[in-house]
């Protein structure tokens, strides 16, 4: 398959360590993939779903201890501690290799070692990067085949070039021995004892964010946890926005939104370029250009329905792998909470137990059939609103960068930063309630700068500094905003309708980018005049509601400023520019 000496040496090295019975190179052909699907069905790794209703679709259930990313067991390894720590878990490079080589020894005995050549970005594009993932998991192979471009064409594009080394084994799925280790200085990822999503599809968070953010810092570009969408106005002009929200905070939903009826009637359209990751470079025109390096969506299933996100739902109607959702035995399809109001009555839950939609716990609450972090892996080309620029080698030019978190109070519906450095500050102070996308307590507010807390492959202060440095190179800067779709009323209900109606806020954002609309200056930045958020066609939202969503509570923000200072204090190498921004914020609040 290849004559790349470094690649052959890498394979030999790990063949000796892992000791597999058999080696299979993934060539990317449909014939080979179909054989692997059949084998996986025979081995009960996946279940073939109803071919008429869900052609080419499969269901997979993970073990119960392996349902999300494990941040506590995810490490950035480097020679010097401070180059990775303090936000990341750190391990010294040699120590980590010793530990992992011990765990990986002979781990593939009796198993097949699959070698997946994959490209992040269109094959052969000068901005794309290539990885090789060694794995013993067919589930990983089949998911990587959807999420990335794989196979022989990737090896051809690689030639004698360099690649990111990835080694994965599900081993015994022992959570005590689960490690997701990154070696940015060695271009290497090692993952063991998991078989779930972000822990094992090494092209995604491990490479496209953690390793790539490190490469980007050294090479002068950025790898960000951002969706990319295009908004086409009635004149047919398309403007692009990239938005960073933490895991399970609405990227997939925003990336594919369906405009509200009053916008559709006028001719507005939304095009999805990416739903999770953006690689961003400075173009020759001095603007920022963004590429989605992925080839599919690994989306949150619960809550996805024909009303909230029809484009996502339609993306899952063929050639999709579902993980940890409900198996409807009546018609051999899938279901999850929030899909519709007709849960199946004869089904198997994500744990593999008999389940029906009427089951209640001791407190009378419905027992969930799908795991809250259950997911679909769907090809991007399935998406009805996939952008014509999805494969564009240079990506799309950004008019705006949007940050956002899940905050019940404090953060207003939207505000605009004053300039680039202030925008970097706004990103750096992001906070959000934790979700089921990572193992741990859900609903706790934590700082999640740029939605990258779990994904920066080096020191967080250095990462902030990289943002500031990038600003100096971008002569034609996108404007930077912050949004919050998740403010709640006193009963805990979301005030803002969200989903498709978020376009109403994006419209204001684009108007600000054009400088075609005024805004109100506040201590934290520019907020809209309530009348400038279009509420036509909304039932329960009036201009007063918007007024309420835009309030900036001084006391809360003074507390927030304290929280920010505390957070900065936990970091090292925070640029002075950001401390200056914090001082300005406090001064503004105390005015």
Catalytic residue among 249, 272, 385, 513: 249
Please classify residue 21 by burial: count the beta carbons closer than 10 Å to its beta carbon, then call 0-12 exposed, 13-18 middle and 19+ buried: exposed
Instruction: State which residue, 295 or 421, has the beta carbon closest to Mn ion.
Output: 295
379 binds ligand SPV (CB under 6 A): no
When binding is defined by CB under 5 A, the residue of 71, 136, 275, 276 that contacts Mn ion is 276
DSSP three-state, residue 499: helix
Compute the least distance from the CB of residue 305 to ligand SPV, in Å: 19
Beta partners for residue 112, in sequence order: 22
Q: Does 67 interact with ligand SPV (rule: CB under 6 A)? A: no
**Helix, strand, coil % (nearest 5) of the chain?**
35, 25, 45
- Contact between 287 and ligand SPV by CB under 6 A: the answer reads no
Residues 6+ apart with CB under 8 A from 365: none
Instruction: Map the footprint of ligand GTP across residues 471-490, applying CB under 6 A.
Output: 485-486
Nearer to ligand SPV, 253 or 416 (CB): 253
Min dist. Cβ of residue 360 to ligand SPV (A):
30
Which of residues 247, 323, 417, 465 is near ligand SPV by CB under 6 A?
Answer: 247
Pick from 437, 452, 460, 524: which binds ligand GTP (CB under 6 A)? 437
Q: Which does 204 bind (CB under 5 to 8 A by kind): ligand GTP, ligand SPV, Mn ion, none?
A: ligand SPV
Q: Which of residues 488-517 bind ligand GTP (CB under 6 A)?
A: 494, 498-499, 502
What CA–CA distance (Å, rounded) separates 158 from 148? 15
Number of other CB atoms surrounding residue 261 within 10 Å: 11
Binding mask 290-309 for ligand GTP (x = CB under 6 A): ---------xx-xx----x-
Of the two residues 125 and 143, which places its CB atom closer to ligand GTP in the complex? 143
CA distances from 435 to 11, 143, 372, 532 (A): 37, 23, 9, 32
Cβ atoms of residues 154 and 46 within 8 Å: no
Binding flag, residue 245, ligand GTP (CB under 6 A): yes
Handedness of CA 151, 155, 161, 166 (dihedral sign): positive
For the CB of residue 223, give the shortest distance to ligand GTP in the complex, in Å: 14
C-beta of 151 vs 405, nearer to ligand GTP: 405
Going by C-alpha positions, the residue among 146, 178, 166, 175 that lies closest to residue 65 is 175
User: Nearest-CA neighbor of 352 among 366, 331, 371?
Assistant: 371
Question: Is 249 an active-site residue?
Answer: yes
Residue 82: CB atoms within 10 Å: 14
Chosen from ligand SPV, ligand GTP, Mn ion, none, partner binding at 415 (C-beta under 5 to 8 Å by type):
none
Q: Do the Cβ atoms of 524 and 553 come closer than 8 Å?
A: no
Tokens 């499969």, residue? Answer: 58
The catalytic residue positions are 249
Binding site for ligand SPV (CB under 6 A): 69, 197-198, 204-205, 247, 276, 298, 437
Binding site for ligand GTP (CB under 6 A): 245, 247-253, 275-276, 299-300, 302-303, 308, 437, 485-486, 494, 498-499, 502
């Amino acid at each position: 398959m290849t004559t790349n000496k470094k690649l052959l040496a890498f394979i030999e090295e790990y063949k000796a360590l892992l000791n597999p019975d058999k080696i299979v190179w993934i060539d990317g052909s449909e014939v080979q993939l179909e054989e692997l699907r059949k084998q996986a069905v025979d081995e009960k790794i996946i279940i073939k779903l109803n071919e008429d209703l869900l052609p080419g679709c499969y269901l997979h259930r993970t073990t119960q201890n392996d349902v999300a990313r494990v941040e506590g067991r995810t490490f950035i390894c480097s020679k010097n501690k401070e180059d990775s720590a303090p936000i990341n878990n750190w391990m010294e490079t040699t120590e980590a290799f010793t530990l992992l080589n011990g765990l990986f020894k002979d781990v593939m005995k009796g198993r097949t070692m699959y070698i997946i050549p994959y490209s992040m970005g269109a094959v052969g594009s000068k901005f794309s990067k290539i990885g090789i993932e060694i794995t013993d998991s067919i589930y990983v192979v089949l998911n990587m085949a959807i999420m990335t471009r794989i196979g022989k064409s990737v090896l051809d594009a690689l030639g004698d070039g360099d690649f990111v080394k990835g080694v994965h084994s599900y081993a015994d799925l022992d959570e005590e021995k689960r490690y997701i280790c990154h070696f940015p200085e060695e271009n290497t990822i090692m993952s063991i004892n998991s078989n779930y999503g972000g822990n094992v599809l090494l092209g995604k968070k491990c490479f496209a964010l953690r390793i790539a953010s490190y490469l980007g810092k050294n090479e002068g570009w950025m790898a960000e946890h951002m969706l990319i969408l295009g908004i086409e106005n009635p004149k047919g002009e398309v403007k692009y926005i990239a938005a960073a929200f933490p895991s399970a905070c609405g990227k997939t939903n925003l990336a594919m939104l369906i405009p509200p009826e009053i916008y559709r009637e006028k001719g507005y359209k939304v095009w999805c370029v990416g739903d999770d990751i953006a690689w961003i470079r400075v173009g020759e025109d001095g603007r920022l250009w963004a590429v989605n390096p992925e080839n599919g969506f690994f989306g949150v299933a619960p809550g996805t329905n024909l009303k909230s996100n029809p484009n996502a739902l339609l993306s899952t109607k063929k050639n999709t792998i579902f993980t940890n959702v409900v198996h409807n035995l009546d018609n051999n399809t899938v279901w999850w909470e929030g899909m519709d109001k007709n849960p199946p009555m004869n089904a198997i839950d994500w744990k593999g137990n008999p389940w029906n939609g009427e089951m209640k716990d001791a407190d009378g609450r419905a027992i969930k059939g799908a795991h809250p972090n259950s997911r679909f892996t769907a090809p991007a080309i399935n998406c009805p609103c996939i952008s014509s620029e999805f494969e564009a080698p240079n990506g799309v030019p950004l008019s705006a960068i949007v940050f956002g978190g899940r905050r019940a109070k404090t953060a207003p519906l939207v505000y605009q930063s004053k300039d680039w450095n202030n925008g970097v500050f706004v990103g750096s102070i992001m906070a959000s309630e934790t979700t089921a996308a990572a193992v741990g307590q859900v609903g706790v507010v934590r700082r999640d700068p740029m939605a990258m807390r779990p994904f920066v492959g080096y020191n967080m202060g250095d990462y902030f500094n990289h943002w500031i440095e990038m600003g100096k190179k971008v002569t034609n800067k996108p404007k930077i905003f912050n949004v919050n779709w998740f403010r709640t009323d006193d009963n805990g209900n979301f005030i803002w309708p969200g989903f498709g109606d978020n376009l109403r806020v994006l419209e204001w954002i684009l108007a600000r980018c054009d400088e075609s609309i005024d805004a109100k200056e506040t201590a934290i930045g520019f907020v809209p005049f309530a009348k400038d958020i279009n509420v036509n066609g909304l039932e329960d939202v009036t201009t007063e509601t918007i007024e309420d969503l835009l309030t900036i509570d001084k006391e809360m923000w003074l507390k927030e400023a304290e929280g920010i200072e505390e957070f900065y204090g936990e970091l090292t190498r925070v640029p002075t520019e950001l401390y200056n921004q914090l001082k300005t914020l406090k001064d503004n609040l105390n005015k």
